[in-house]
Amino acid sequence: MIGVFDSGSGGLSVLKEIVRLLPDEKYVYLADNAHCPYGEKSPEYIADRCREITRILMSKGADIIVVACNTATAAAINTIRKEFDIKFIGMEPAVKPAALGTRTGVIGVLATAGTLKGSKYLASKSNFEDGCRIVEHVGEGFVELVEAGKLSGPEAEAVVGRSLTPLLDTGADTIVLGCTHYPFLLPTMQTVAKGYAVVRFIDPAPAVARHLVYVMVQEGLLGERQATKALATVVATEEARAMGQELPPVPAPDIELIATGNPAGLKALFKTVFRK
């Protein structure tokens, strides 16, 4: 069973890409929405939450855990990797594909304050900032919008515009989505970015899902037939993405959804992410 967690519903953007590759697996997803947002909280606080969540997911039968939260990955994945006898897959800030693909030589990174301070992000930034300019902005209020299910409309556009426009104004043509909540605001971001020269948004979720498949194969957690099927889906999906084709809808998996707070928002977003 694959365990997935986030501070809230944002990790569903990662779960979707995982289920696309592994539709027959069993899942347990935990939204720690009683303690959301994590963005400004201390690494110690987040590590405590991650410990508690790991215990819950393991008690439900998870044999691998995806930390579908950039902030939790930055604050605590090294700690929980030392403390628990289970594999954790974390989020990677997608600076590399952005830096390699920019034409203007400026890339923007939208993430939480915690992620932007994390050593993983700072290391990947320093690897690429010789070749391009990297500008950053916290997505102020983005997590709250997604948790409230306000993904579009004038309020969402105003909130998104306040953090995205300063990045676009620097000439950034590629924006890294460094928080798993943000892909849910992509249509709104595209509306805000209208009028700017071609802007590409990079979501690391498909790469994280591919990495999970490789690790599960290595760990003996995936049978040969499922692994072959997943790799065939990777090829087909990447081809479709490269050609700008719409991807097929992802059917709802066999899943237990857990929220530490009110589950209504999580359940509502889940229904929009997965085909019935």
Catalytic machinery residues: 69, 179
Contact call for residue 204 and ligand DGL (CB under 6 A) = no
Contact call for residue 33 and ligand DGL (CB under 6 A) = no
228 three-class SS:
helix
Contact call for residue 174 and ligand DGL (CB under 6 A) = no
Query: Encoding tokens for residue 220?
Result: 């003996």
**Smallest separation, CB 93 to ligand DGL (Å):** 10
Contact call for residue 7 and ligand DGL (CB under 6 A) = yes
Contact call for residue 112 and ligand DGL (CB under 6 A) = yes
Residue 7 or 163 having the CB closest to ligand DGL: 7
**Smallest separation, CB 121 to ligand DGL (Å):** 11
Which region among 19-27, 31-39, 94-102, 165-173 touches ligand DGL (by CB under 6 A)? 31-39
Report CA-CA distances (Å) from 131 to 34, 101, 118, 145, 270: 41, 11, 21, 34, 39
Contact call for residue 10 and ligand DGL (CB under 6 A) = yes
Which residues are CB-contacts of 260 (< 8 A; sequence separation ≥ 6)? 30, 31, 32, 33, 34, 35
- Helix, strand, coil % in the chain, rounded to nearest 5: 50, 15, 35
Residue 67 or 107 having the CB closest to ligand DGL: 67
Measure the CA–CA gap between 83 and 206, rounded to whole angstroms.
Answer: 27
52, 26 Cβ separation under 8 angstroms: no
Contact call for residue 39 and ligand DGL (CB under 6 A) = yes
Which region among 6-14, 22-30, 94-102, 156-164 touches ligand DGL (by CB under 6 A)? 6-14
Which residues are at the interface with ligand DGL (CB under 6 A)? 6-7, 10, 36-39, 69-71, 112, 115, 143, 179-181
